Amino acid sequence: MSRNRRAKIVATLGPASSSPEMIRKLYDAGVDMFRLNFSHGTHEDHRARYEAIRAVEREVGTPIAILQDLQGPKIRLGPLEGGKRELTNGSTVRFVCSATAKGNDLPLPHKEVFDAVVPGNQLLIDDGKVRLSATDVGTGYIDAKVISGGIVSDRKGVNLPDTVLALSPITDKDRVDLAFGLELGVDWVAFSFVQRASDLIEAHTLVGGRAGVMSKIEKPAAMSVIEDIVALSDSIMVARGDLGVEIPPEDVPGAQKDLVRLCRLAGKPVIIATQMLESMIHTPTPTRAESSDVATAIYDGSDAVMLSAESASGQFPVQAVETMDRIIRRTEQHKAYRNIIEALHPEVEPLPQHAISAAAAEVAKSIGAACIVAFTSSGTTAYRIARQRPPTPILSVTPNESTARQLAWLWGSTSIRSDEISSYDEMVSHAVQNAKSSGLASDGDCIVVVAGVPFGKSGSTNNLRVVTV
């Protein structure tokens, strides 16, 4: 199914959207990839959602991507005496390395925090609603001054924007969840709170090529080594929720633009996530600011925009997807869109496969081709073409079902699984047949066909051909 738009939609499944009927409605409304959030729900919950998605996939005959989002390490307070405590501006409070605490101390059962924090570092509680600054650090304790006070209650999250923790982003829970997700057959795995490039080495080792590895950018430490992280990731999620807590709000828009630009230059797909249509959790229409936020991500050139609570637990999940779909379409139709999206010209590496992919986008634009048909085994050819952001639709044809699913949320691409090709004649006939059956081309149209010889060998893109349907 061609959505008749370039950017894609990711929707999170949850209590409001787990029935097979609702999942089908969300797909029909425009969802290209479904997110299974392993911070919530049981394995059986996620299995049922996975199977419902695959049932829809079989019904519609179109690959659908499934993203497993791992919880990652959560730094939280322990239980407080009385369940809550009020911190006043200017007062001093002590964090203790313990699961429980007496009196006015705050329990923080995470030894790695006490090993890493130094005086002057910030400690933010409850998504930054309460802000403190460390004044003294000793064995098993951190004294901190309250900068912005408020009520603190049991198990509230703690963010440490100035501190790089000696902590793997992959917890024991994540390892169990990951094994389960890979057994199911998820297409992408998102790793939370990535801080260092070395975190990705561990992630790739565990995934073992069975799914794409996505890094969620939520920590300022990640931004300081972001080029290395992008290079080692298969894709990126700009997780603005935690990132927006740990860096000043005024810096988030610039960080978003930097990340989208860097991903496009690297040919890595990128998702913009969190609070995109937040008001639609409770209302059937978004605010004007939210509409503008989604449009900005599209103008930036992001591959996809994501719904979280809007589709997982909100009252209007289908309307949220339909709204996002309309915003994307209208933005891509705006007269300024092409000029903005084409302002960034990724440098073409001096290799045949890169040159052919870039040439395909240019040739298709020059001759007004109906589509670009990219034969690809691993998906790399489609990624290279998509990074050029051509005005021409991309039809990614692959013999691998897993590749077709992984490409389902790539910018501008419609992915399908097709039989292997072994000759030029087969290449042309398959290209024409698939372009017509997908609705992207009709008799008399020109299409641009990209493939590699020998056929079926990954990374061998070296052939471009113009074909009349």
**Alpha helices in 155-251, H assignment, sequence order:** 172-184, 197-207, 220-224, 226-232, 240-246
Q: Please indicate whether residue 288 is annotated as part of the active site.
A: no
Own/partner contacts of 165-169, CB < 8 Å, gap of 24 or more, are: 165/73, 165/112, 165/113, 165/116, 165/195, 166/112, 166/115, 166/116, 167/73, 167/112, 167/195, 168/73, 168/199, 168/202, 169/72, 169/73, 169/193, 169/194, 169/195, 169/199, 169/203
Rounded Cα–Cα distance for residues 87 and 95 (Å): 13
Question: What's the number of CA atoms in the CB half-sphere (13 Å) around residue 267?
Answer: 16
Q: Please indicate whether residue 42 is annotated as part of the active site.
A: no
Strands 122-125 and 130-138: antiparallel
> What pLDDT does residue 350 have?
79
Tell me which H or E stretch contains 448. Answer: strand 446-452
> What pLDDT does residue 456 have?
65
Q: Which of 202, 206, 264 is closest to 235 using CA atoms?
A: 264
Instruction: Say if residues 465 and 428 touch (Cβ distance below 8 Å).
Output: yes
DSSP state of 157: B
Q: Please indicate whether residue 330 is annotated as part of the active site.
A: no
Determine which one of 24, 47, 54, 76 is catalytic.
76
Per-residue confidence in pLDDT tens, the chain, 469 aa: 578 899 999 999 999 999 999 999 999 999 999 999 999 999 999 999 999 999 999 999 999 999 999 999 989 999 988 888 999 999 999 999 999 888 889 999 999 999 999 999 999 999 889 999 999 999 999 999 999 999 999 889 999 998 888 888 899 999 999 999 999 999 999 999 999 999 999 999 999 999 999 999 998 989 999 999 999 999 999 999 888 888 888 999 999 999 999 999 999 999 999 999 999 999 999 999 999 999 999 999 999 999 999 999 999 999 999 999 999 999 999 999 999 999 887 877 778 888 999 999 999 999 999 999 999 989 999 999 999 999 999 999 999 999 999 999 999 999 999 888 878 888 889 999 999 999 999 999 999 999 877 766 666 677 899 999 9
> What pLDDT does residue 110 have?
93
> What pLDDT does residue 1 have?
59
Residue with tokens 């002057």: 120
Determine which one of 216, 240, 264, 405 is catalytic.
216
Instruction: Say if residues 49 and 36 touch (Cβ distance below 8 Å).
Output: yes
DSSP state of 130: E
> What pLDDT does residue 5 have?
95
The alpha carbon of residue 190 and the mean position of all alpha carbons in its chain are separated, in whole angstroms, by: 7
Domain extent listing, the chain:
8-72+169-337, 81-159, 352-468
Domain at 8-72+169-337: CATH code: 3.20.20.60
Determine which one of 5, 6, 35, 264 is catalytic.
35
Furthest CA-CA distance within the chain: 80
> What pLDDT does residue 426 have?
87
CATH class assigned to 352-468: alpha beta
Rounded Cα–Cα distance for residues 458 and 125 (Å): 48
> What pLDDT does residue 165 have?
86
Q: Look at the domain 81-159 and name its fold.
A: M1 Pyruvate Kinase; Domain 3 (2.40.33)
pTM reported for the whole predicted model: 0.92
Rounded Cα–Cα distance for residues 210 and 265 (Å): 25
Residue with tokens 């988030």: 252
Determine which one of 62, 163, 274, 392 is catalytic.
274
Q: Please indicate whether residue 403 is annotated as part of the active site.
A: no
> What pLDDT does residue 381 have?
92
Question: What's the number of CA atoms in the CB half-sphere (13 Å) around residue 83?
Answer: 0
